[in-house]
Structure 1
Amino acid sequence: MLEANGNSSTVDKAYERVSQQPGPAASSPSGCLSSLSPPDNALNENLQCQAYDWTLESMTQIPTWLATDDFDINALNAAIIASTNLPALLQNSATMGPISDPLLQTGESLPNGTEKFEDIICRHWFTHPEAPGTEHGLPDRESRATVDEPYRQGLTERLQYRVPTDPLPSTDFLWVRRIRVLRSHQSTCEIEREEIERDPEGAWTKWVAKEEQRRLVAGLAILDSEFADLFLSEPYMRRPSLRSSISDDEIWTAPTAADWSRSLTRQLSSHVRSDSMAKQNSFKEYFALEEIAGSVCDARMSDDYSALPSQQSVLEKFYCNNITQRSSSVGPDNFCLRALWHVTFLSSLVDYDRLELAVGREGHEESQRHVCYARAWANSRDGWRCVVHAVLTFRCLESMPIAKEPPIHAPRSLHRAILVLYCYLQFKDIADHTDVTRNAFDFPELSHAGINCERILAEVNGPGMWGPKPMHSSMLCHFIELLRRFGHWGLARQQAAMWEVVVADEGMYSSLYTNMEFNMNSTFAPPAAATYPELYALASQNPKLSFLEKAWWTHYAYWDNDIIATGIITFLAHEILYFARCIPWIIADALPTLFHRFKIQDKKAPPSAKEQWSCVKYILAIHFIVEMPMIVLFHPMMELFGLKYALPFPDLKTLAIQITIFFFVEDTYHYWLHRAFHWGPLYRAIHRVHHQYAAPFGLTAEYASPWETMLLGLGTIGPPLVLGYFTGEVHLMTVLAWVALRQFQAIDAHSGYDFPWSLRRIFPLWGGSDWHDDHHRYFRGNYSSSFKHWDVLMGTVAGPRGKKMRQE
């Protein structure tokens, strides 16, 4: 057929490209054994087997030299049809439930020599079905063993001379060529105006017959293009001039000869496209978009990557002219042009072939050669861009009425969207996907459509620490479920069954390999029984993570529950840092001979051990009864307000700026609330507990009533939540650092000691222990927590200093 169509040079180029591919055996981009290999080598290789298997599988494309005079074409066609059915394993998939390999159903660890995960994917890939051939007209199994070497040699000699000449018979493309319907001029130009006026009925009948031929050929070209794109091969019927031969829908859908005559005459006179065709998506536009898709495919096949940006510009122009201008009131999208446009744009951004190879289309060894490409793509801006297009493709196809027949490109489009989403979830780096700026989501082809790309990507990544794993992604499951329900085609069901195998077996392998090779760029679940040291060792494989980031990842991976992990790390950090910071002041009170000279209220004795123990018991009760429930609820609040907790940590500059803001906001809140607490009824009901000790010591920083603990705690947690809600740039690590510093400030302010190196001597605006001690000594004034400015401005400075300032 290639020779008959004048494509022999294409074959040579394709063979040259295939033969240069790495690996032990060159393979075609479709994932099947190449049909373009030299016939003598391929034949000798196939005939050297002792028991030649005549079963024709879809992985074996039929070379042209097999079409001999005595070859049984009916048997060949029957074998090809049989090979397109699902294997016996999938025949019971009426419900299309998850399919798993029998080996994985045991739940036992995999022994040495067991088939690798990618090899199982290779066996179940939809282009590699393991269906038996019909064997009609072929040697039976008993006679196969009698095929000896002389027979093979004779067969080689008979077939070899037919290589360059014989086409494969009975092809639609040869039929199209023979009936001579591929003329490039438009059918409307063949109808004379005088003929329309003289015999409109006859002219209409003649025009309709020619237009039907052209639309039939356009449909065949679309079918050919779909097959070529699906199997990543070159099409046979690429004719750029064919689109101009298709008439507008207004003329084609004219119900009578008179309507047709008026429409055609108006078009011939004005040469302006009528607005009435906007009532539905034009078949002509559909074919034009398929031509653009073919051009992108050509650029990929010829490795002409410099042509891809220009094709993207063509696609953007097509979107503006043919899709954006159509409102929802003009009718349904009969050809799903939006979905086709998105998946065509996807093909200009990513190499589908290499993604399929990375997933395991051709087995484990070939997969390892392309994992690096998939990983780099998933963590790039193009990766995020592709995911947005994949989700939009799904939404376009999901909105189709259930009773409507989907267009032929629908299964292929959704299959590509699933491939992109799966590879993104599988290969994205957990340490990078949140460290992006808003400008990173400004994709030019979507900027004018009002699409919130950042929100779509957030839906894909989910609220988890590293985003959902492929087997846990509800969005990916919805993609596969929609593909399974597409129309009546076996192709869509076969692709859906294949993806169910991929997702289900990926989950089983992640649980069976307890000593699996784990990579931080993978979204496989860590082994459930792994310990902290084992998980930390896994995290150490990522050189980009610091010590704290490795420990952070280890903690969340160990618990595998973000609410529990956040609650534990927050509560433990609060308890450990609080009592650890109190230890130096307990030691200072226990050694008065060394530190008494730095005591502010030196006339009073230091607290006894009994007083300190009583204070500790009360504070622990407040922490466990009041603060711990609030900490458990902090993670849902954090997600509600948009705080981050995934890696990486924020940089030091961002950390310092945000904590400074928190200090000033909390100080303002604390000043006015604390001042209100000293109003009689509130003081007796809430604040009196905190003033039980007129000479405070470090442990009394959080010695307060439950209501005071909750209200003042709101001033600590509120600023990060509010800032995170409006900016989306506040990290949990920033909150923990801020709470730790706020605890240190409160404990130091209640310590009762003023050293020469205290912060207030370096930073005059800082209040410190000297400032807050006057509040406990005189019971009024100095209401601020960290700074002095509010008390100075409002005239509420306590003690002799305040009296002196008021007199001045």
Structure 2
Amino acid sequence: MGSPSSSFVQIAYGMAQWARRDGMFTTGQEQPSNFFQSHEELDTAWNSWARLEEKKRAAMGLYIHDAQLASLFHHDPNLRHGAIQLSAAASNELFSAPSAAQWADLMRTHPPQSYLQEHIHFSQPQDLQQHPLPIEIGCAHSRLSCYVTLHGIEAAVAESGRTYHVLPNQQIFDKFRDALTCWYHAYGKTSSPNSPDIFCLMILWHKIFMSLLVDFDSLERAIGRDGSVQAAFAQEYVSTWASSIEAKRCIMHASLINDHLAAMRVDAEPAIHVPGCTFSAAIAWYCYTKFGVADNHAPDCNENLDFPETKALGIRSGQQLFELCGATRPKPTVMGAGPLRGLTDMLNKLGHWDTSKRFAGILGLLLHGDTEGHLLDYS
């Protein structure tokens, strides 16, 4: 019998194959004519457009599902996210139009169709570093499209094939850092404070940044996912990482995930990626406090902790890291790390996802000192 991981991957692969045969991954959207001879023609055009839009949104759901499985089980995605041939989804207002006449009125002012691939920064031929091009902000009307493009960056990170047992290739790191920063300037920064972020996009944004700074597969092996022998092998890498500036940068993002979770409404339904992102943030904090040099969190004269992405957020990361670690020089203990406790508590409260309860159980074992055996079980 295969592992739970292989079973999920096989199911996802089968779904992707079915969707390819049905042509779902090449669904564009023709702009209907604004002139209709009769009500029957208008109704026909509306129904045809709606069927294509539903098909496109189903394909987007498969891209999200594929990226989530790749992140959860640490394997390459099945779909080619960087070459996505879907056009951006329509705005919710247009998609929810109650009549053909209202749909036609909204279509006259709706932005022209564009492909999602065009909205990912590293797909552009110009190298403008951390400045988005006008084409990149073209799907701001659709939060679902913003969600899929962010997953496209996440999948590209997984496809990059980088190993984290050596220092990251700076050119590759800069490529994805710029893409994430441009995404934030195009979409994350422009979201309305009065409009709830139903897709929890900034939580995913921080998690993708973290995946550029640490190998989560190694962190999970170090805490006992594959048994004590594999844990001993992984702990060499994790101990080196936990004493690095990359670790400080990583737990900065982990703490910001905790802040976003704390700001969520009590009655909010978290997006599907939130439990996994919360667990990853907690594991990063645990490994940072458990391994490495005890007094390594405090900045010294050779360290610059004002990271570009936190500058874009208006955060002084050096000061915040100092405060997060208790304003004392030694690292906090596992039980003394406030964000770690907060992330663990949050997993017990995250909606009805059974996965979050399982993740919370794993963290409970870690916090109470049981790090032997096979801790992680996604089945």
The alpha-carbon distance between structure 1 residues 495 and 444, as it changes in their structure 2 partners (threshold 3 A), is same
Code of the aligned partner of 2:306: D
What is the correspondence of 1:535-614 to structure 2 with a 5 Å cutoff? Answer: none
Q: Residues 438 and 319 of structure 1: is their aligned pair in 2 closer, same or farther, counting only changes over 3 Å?
A: farther
Of 317, 329, 348 in structure 1, the residue corresponding to residue 212 of structure 2 is 348
Q: Which residue of 2 aligns with 1:416?
A: 280
Partner of 1:325: 190
- Listed as ranges, the matches of 1:204-215 within 5 Å are 204-215=46-57
1:793 paired residue number = none
- 2:172 corresponds, among 301, 307, 313, to 307
Q: Offset of 1:383 from its aligned partner?
A: 1.1
Q: Which amino acid aligns with 1:285?
A: C
User: By how many angstroms is 1:452 displaced?
Assistant: 2.8
- Residues 24, 56 of structure 2: 8 Å contact kept: yes
Partner of 2:266, secondary structure, is coil
Change (3 A) 1:241 1:474: closer
Question: Within the alignment, does 1:234 sit opposite 2:76 as a pair?
Answer: yes
Query: Could you tell me how far 1:474 is from its partner in structure 2?
Result: 3.3
Pairing of 1:336-375 with structure 2 (within 5 A): 336-375=200-239
Q: Could you say which residue in structure 1 is the equivalent of 2:26?
A: 183
Question: How far apart are 1:224 and its partner, in Å?
Answer: 1.5
Determine helix, strand or coil for the equivalent of 1:309: helix
For 1:606-645, what aligned pairs fall within 5 Å after superposition?
A: none
**In 2, are the aligned partners of 1:188 and 1:247 still within 8 Å (CA)?**
no
CA distance in 2, matches of 1:286, 1:270: 17
Instruction: Look up the match of 1:483.
Output: 347
1:304-336 deviations in Å (ceiling 9; x for gaps)? 94423201111111111111133424x111111
Give the letter for the 2:103 counterpart: W
Asked if 2 retains the 8 angstrom alpha-carbon contact of 1:296 and 1:348, the reply is yes
Q: Distance in 1 between matches of 2:329 and 2:24?
A: 59
- 1:243 positional shift: 4.1
Q: CA separation in 2, counterparts of 1:277 and 1:228?
A: 25
Q: Deviations over 1:551-595 (max 9, x none)?
A: xxxxxxxxxxxxxxxxxxxxxxxxxxxxxxxxxxxxxxxxxxxxx
Task: Give the one of 226, 244, 252 matched to 2:95.
Answer: 252
CA contact (8 A) 2:222 2:231 kept: yes
CA distance in 1, matches of 2:161, 2:290: 24
For residue 157 of structure 2, what is the aligned residue in structure 1? 296
* TM-score between both structures, scaled by the size of structure 1: 0.39
Q: Measure how far apart 1:415 and its partner are.
A: 1.1
Q: Is the 8 A contact 2:25 2:85 kept in 1?
A: yes
Count of aligned pairs: 345
Deviation at 1:437, TM superposition (A): 4.2
Query: Counterpart of 1:287 in structure 2: which amino acid?
Result: V
Q: Distance in 1 between matches of 2:37 and 2:64?
A: 32
What's the secondary structure of 2:257's corresponding residue?
helix
What runs of 5+ residues in structure 2 fail to find an aligned partner?
A: 115-133, 373-379
CA distance in 1: counterparts of 2:12 and 2:158, whole angstroms? 27
CA contact (8 A) 2:42 2:100 kept: yes
Among residues 127, 143, 167, which one is paired with 1:282 in the alignment?
A: 143
Q: For 1:254-269, list aligned pairs within 5 A.
A: 254-267=97-110
Does residue 171 (structure 1) correspond to residue 36 (structure 2)? The answer is: no
CA contact (8 A) 1:360 1:367 kept: yes
- Provide the C-alpha distance between the structure 2 equivalents of 1:243 and 1:477, rounded to a whole number of angstroms: 41
Q: How does 1:66-215 map to 2 (within 5 A)?
A: 171-184=14-27, 186-189=28-31, 191-194=32-35, 199-215=41-57
SS at match of 1:432: coil
In the TM superposition, residue 208 of structure 1 has moved relative to its aligned partner by 0.8
Q: Distance in 1 between matches of 2:263 and 2:298?
A: 30
**Bigger Rg, which one:** 1
What's the Cα RMSD here? 3.2
- Summarize deviations over 1:755-780 as a string: whole Å, max 9, x none: xxxxxxxxxxxxxxxxxxxxxxxxxx
Q: Are the counterparts in 2 of residues 187 and 247 from structure 1 also a CA contact under 8 Å?
A: no
Code of the aligned partner of 2:70? A
Distance (whole Å) between structure 2 residues aligned to residue 373 and residue 225 of structure 1: 26
Change (3 A) 1:263 1:370: same
Check whether the contact 1:483–1:493 (CA below 8 A) recurs between aligned residues: yes
TM-aligned CA distance change 1:251 to 1:423, over 3 Å: same
CA deviations over 1:243-277 (Å, ceiling 9, x no partner):
4253344432333322321222233679999x998
- Give the AA of the match of 1:259: Q
1:535-561 per-residue CA deviation (whole Å, 9 max, x = no partner) reads xxxxxxxxxxxxxxxxxxxxxxxxxxx
Aligned CA distance change for structure 1 residues 60 and 202 (closer, same or farther; 3 Å): closer
Partner Cα distance (1:245, 1:327) in 2: 20
Partners of 1:219 and 1:407 in 2: how far apart?
Answer: 12
Matched letter for residue 289 of structure 1: L
Residue 381 (structure 1) shift: 1.6
- SS of the equivalent of 1:491 reads helix
Q: Which residue of 2 aligns with 1:392?
A: 256
Aligned-partner Cα distance in 1 for 2:138–2:173: 34
Q: How many angstroms does 1:242 deviate by?
A: 3.7
Report the CA distance shift for 1:214/1:317 in structure 2 as closer, same or farther (over 3 A): same
SS of the aligned residue for 2:311 comes to coil
Alignment of 1:449 onto 2:313 = yes
1:672-687 alignment runs, 5 A limit = none
The one-letter code of the counterpart of 1:208 is A
Counterpart of 2:326 in structure 1 is 462
Shift of 1:374: 1.5
Do the aligned partners of residues 197 and 320 (structure 1) sit closer, same or farther apart at CA in structure 2, a change above 3 Å counting?
A: farther
Q: 1-side partners of 2:303 and 2:313: how far apart?
A: 16
Larger RCO (CA within 8 A; separation ≥ 6): 2
CA displacement at 1:225 relative to structure 2: 1.2
1:377 is the counterpart of 2:241: yes
Paired residue type of 1:296:
V
8 Å contact from structure 1 (residues 243, 287) kept in 2: no
Hey, what's the Cα distance between the residues in 2 that align with 1:268 and 1:309? 31
Residues 741-767 of structure 1, C-alpha deviations (whole Å, 9 max, x = no match): xxxxxxxxxxxxxxxxxxxxxxxxxxx
What is the CA distance between 1:430 and its match in structure 2?
A: 2.0
Which residue number corresponds to residue 472 of structure 1? 336
Partner Cα distance (2:369, 2:279) in 1: 18
Q: Could you say if the C-alpha distance between residues 196 and 182 of structure 1 is closer, same or farther in structure 2, counting changes exceeding 3 Å?
A: farther
Shift of 1:221: 1.6
